[in-house]
């Protein structure tokens, strides 16, 4: 055992991981956790965590940062503002996107996003690769090199005119992921059903934000999830289904997992805490609650909670997609847009952990260990960040959120550190708030102040882990093709 004192000791708190809750001190040497135990010797610095919960920093595995939307609108956040907001909400690692649009070179797009993150990020980050243009060059040259360089997950859209891949392209991407060992994350909604509904709604003059929800039928989600699962099983390529919103979607995933197909899935706080009724407000106000898939019903919320309880859903990400309620964001098409002309997405990078803490820990729904699992450990495992991230264990990065479980906070735009200018949770009171947040042993946030410089976050190169490895059973036709 080293005789050097720890650089920092977080003393006297209740340490919780996905598997245990114990009274312990955490000793930190440099950037990593060196000891977890009782009565550790004094550190060069000490943080008194008595009465507090010492938890792994959150991992937000789906957040759009400094990204151009499907409709060509640049979102409101920079890496500096979004990662600052994340840190204030108890998150210490984010996975945003390298967002290719059709015609763009994926390697150049990656270089551009890396430059933005290097300049601004205050916490650590990885990247998913959005593939919108699966050309030979993208799939055979750029993608393999980028996966080798530590981008072990790809995202594709099954809808959106400018981003979607068709069935053949989706199969191409799944196969490329299989050959290069990467997980494929998917926005699964049926494009034709949405386009068909949009056309008819607008033809009838039904243009208010609430018709956004009507234009994305629930069956559009289940059809696409079913098709995606079929493709994934055909090629034996694991997939992650992003932002699941419906009970029917959950049921398809549950059944597929029961059959041993490697399907992972997430939901987001907005689908657990908000409903389609939130869109039904005077004028354009409902635009603030527009996201895709849209908000659904209380019954869907219950189905999602049940799926979080039984493991059908493994993670809860924010899907932070910040568009201001002005001409730079939601109203970029002018002052009187129809629902189709309004950017989809809402902020949530800072409220994700507090909303879930309040529901799961303070109100007791699923409990503390499950909170840690869903917000940190499971995303770390699935995306190849564990054991470095998402845990409090010797050798892990000292990414720690020290929560005051009794602090009551009223959520509101004034409190937030992102640049959206509103929160869909305005006026909601939560119990429990991260008082101090550490990233690789550095105090990032303490007592309401940011204590690090932009650009101090680091890129975390990831290899795909077990989650992205097939189970060795694929369709016989594909077997024959591949011999």
Residues in contact with Zn ion by the rule CB under 5 A: 187, 319
Which C-beta is closer to ligand DUC: that of 64 or that of 330? 64
For the bound state, the minimum distance from the C-beta of residue 187 to ligand DUC, rounded and expressed in Å, comes to 5
Adjacent-strand bridge partners of 125? 94, 459
Measured CA to CA, the distance from residue 31 to residue 85 in angstroms comes to 22
Which C-beta is closer to ligand DUC: that of 348 or that of 390? 348
Using CA atoms, how far residue 409 sits from 58, 340, 428, in Å, is 19, 35, 8
Which C-beta is closer to Zn ion: that of 300 or that of 358? 300
For the bound state, the minimum distance from the C-beta of residue 144 to ligand DUC, rounded and expressed in Å, comes to 25
Which C-beta is closer to Zn ion: that of 47 or that of 130? 130
Site string for ligand DUC, 339-368 (x = CB under 6 A): -----xx-----------------------
Q: Report, in angstroms and rounded to the nearest whole number, the Rg of the chain calculated over CA atoms.
A: 22
Measured CA to CA, the distance from residue 21 to residue 172 in angstroms comes to 45
Which C-beta is closer to ligand DUC: that of 292 or that of 301? 292
Using DSSP bridges, classify how beta strands 21-29 and 315-316 pair: parallel, antiparallel or unpaired.
Answer: unpaired
Measured CA to CA, the distance from residue 309 to residue 366 in angstroms comes to 7
Which C-beta is closer to ligand DUC: that of 345 or that of 384? 345
Measured CA to CA, the distance from residue 94 to residue 454 in angstroms comes to 15
For the bound state, the minimum distance from the C-beta of residue 346 to ligand DUC, rounded and expressed in Å, comes to 9
- Dihedral of the alpha carbons of 448, 453, 454, 459, in degrees to the nearest 10: -100
For the bound state, the minimum distance from the C-beta of residue 12 to Zn ion, rounded and expressed in Å, comes to 39
Which C-beta is closer to ligand DUC: that of 56 or that of 379? 379
Residue 153, both tokens: 């997950």
Site string for ligand DUC, 191-230 (x = CB under 6 A): ----------------------------------------
Closest CA to 270 of 310, 243, 247, 241: 243
321 binds ligand DUC (CB under 6 A): yes
Burial of residue 92 (number of CB atoms within 10 Å: 0-12, 13-18, 19+): buried
243 binds ligand DUC (CB under 6 A): yes
Which C-beta is closer to ligand DUC: that of 189 or that of 236? 189
| Of residues 57-76, those binding ligand DUC (CB under 6 A) | 64
242 binds ligand DUC (CB under 6 A): yes
187 binds ligand DUC (CB under 6 A): yes
318 binds ligand DUC (CB under 6 A): no
77 binds ligand DUC (CB under 6 A): no
Measured CA to CA, the distance from residue 242 to residue 184 in angstroms comes to 10
Report the partner that residue 344 touches, choosing among ligand DUC, Zn ion, none (CB closer than 5 to 8 A by kind): ligand DUC
* CB closest to ligand DUC, residue no: 292
Query: How many chain residues bind ligand DUC (CB under 6 A)?
Result: 9
319 binds ligand DUC (CB under 6 A): yes
Q: Which residues bind ligand DUC (CB under 6 A)?
A: 64, 187, 242-243, 292, 319, 321, 344-345
């Amino acid at each position: 055992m080293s005789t050097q004192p720890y650089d920092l000791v977080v003393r006297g708190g209740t340490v919780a991981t996905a598997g245990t809750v114990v009274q312990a001190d955490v000793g930190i040497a440099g950037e990593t956790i060196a000891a977890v135990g009782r009565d550790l010797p004094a550190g060069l610095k000490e943080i008194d965590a008595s009465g507090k919960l010492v938890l792994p920093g959150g991992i937000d595995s789906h957040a759009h940062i400094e990204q151009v939307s499907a409709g060509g609108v640049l979102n409101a956040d920079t890496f500096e503002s979004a990662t600052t907001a994340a840190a204030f909400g108890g998150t210490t690692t984010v996975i945003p996107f390298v967002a290719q649009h059709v015609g763009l070179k994926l390697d150049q797009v990656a270089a551009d996003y890396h430059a933005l993150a290097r300049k601004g990020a205050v916490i650590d980050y990885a990247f998913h690769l959005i593939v919108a243009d699966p050309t030979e060059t993208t799939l055979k040259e750029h993608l393999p090199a980028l996966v080798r360089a530590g981008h072990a997950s790809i995202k594709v859209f099954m809808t959106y005119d400018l981003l979607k891949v068709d069935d053949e392209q989706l199969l191409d991407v799944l196969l490329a992921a299989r050959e290069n060992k990467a997980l494929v994350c998917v926005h699964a909604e049926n494009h034709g059903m949405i386009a068909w509904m949009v056309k008819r709604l607008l033809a009838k003059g039904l243009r208010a934000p609430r018709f956004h929800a009507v234009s994305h039928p629930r069956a559009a989600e289940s059809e696409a999830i079913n098709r995606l699962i079929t493709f994934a099983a055909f090629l034996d390529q694991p997939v992650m289904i992003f932002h699941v919103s419906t009970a029917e979607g959950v049921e398809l995933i549950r059944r597929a997992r029961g059959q041993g197909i490697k399907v992972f899935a997430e939901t987001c706080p907005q689908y657990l805490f908000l409903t389609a009724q939130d869109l039904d407000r005077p004028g354009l106000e409902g635009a603030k609650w527009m996201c895709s898939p849209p908000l659904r019903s209380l019954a869907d919320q219950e189905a999602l909670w049940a799926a979080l309880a039984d493991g059908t859903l493994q993670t809860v990400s924010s899907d932070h997609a910040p568009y201001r309620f002005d001409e730079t964001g939601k109203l970029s098409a002018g002052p009187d847009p129809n629902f189709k002309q309004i950017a989809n997405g809402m902020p949530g990078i800072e409220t994700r952990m507090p909303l879930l803490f309040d529901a799961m820990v303070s109100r007791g729904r699923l409990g503390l260990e499950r909170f840690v699992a869903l917000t940190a450990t499971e995303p770390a495992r699935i995306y190849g960040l564990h054991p470095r991230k998402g845990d409090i264990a010797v050798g892990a990065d000292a990414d720690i959120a020290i929560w005051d479980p009794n602090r009551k906070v009223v959520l509101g735009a004034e409190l937030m550190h992102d640049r959206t200018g509103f929160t869909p949770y305005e006026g909601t009171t939560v119990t429990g708030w991260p008082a101090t947040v550490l990233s690789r042993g550095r105090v990032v946030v303490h007592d309401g102040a940011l204590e690090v410089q932009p650009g101090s976050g680091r890129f975390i190169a990831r290899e795909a882990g077990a989650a992205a490895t097939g189970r060795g059973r694929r369709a016989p036709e594909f077997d024959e093709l591949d011999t």
